[in-house]
């Protein structure tokens, strides 16, 4: 099961939690896929992640340590 992140600080938090035990973790970036038509006056979908653009997704992607495999 992947571990969802949506900020650059969350991979560090994961490191603190697992300590010296180093399991193989799959980290995925949680993206907002909701729709906000009418200049944002209407919101359709969940309020889960603040990551809405490729630029916003870049910071957590760069914070993921180790080899990166994109699928």
pLDDT band, very low/low/confident/very high, at 9 (cuts 50, 70, 90): confident
20-39 average pLDDT score: 82
- Host H or E run for residue 63: helix 54-63
* Distance, CA of 23 to CA of 47 (rounded, Å): 30
What is the pLDDT at residue 70? 46
Backbone angles phi, psi at 28, to 5 degrees: -125, 145
Q: What value does the mean pLDDT of the chain take?
A: 80
- More confidently predicted of 15 and 45: 45
Token duo for residue 67? 């080899």
């Amino acid at each position: 099961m992947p571990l969802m992140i949506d900020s650059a600080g969350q991979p560090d938090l994961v490191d603190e939690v697992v300590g010296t035990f180093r399991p193989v973790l799959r980290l995925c970036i949680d993206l907002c896929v909701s729709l906000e038509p009418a200049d944002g006056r209407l919101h359709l979908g969940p309020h889960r992640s603040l990551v809405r653009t490729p630029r916003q997704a870049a910071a957590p992607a760069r914070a993921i340590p180790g080899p990166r495999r994109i699928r």
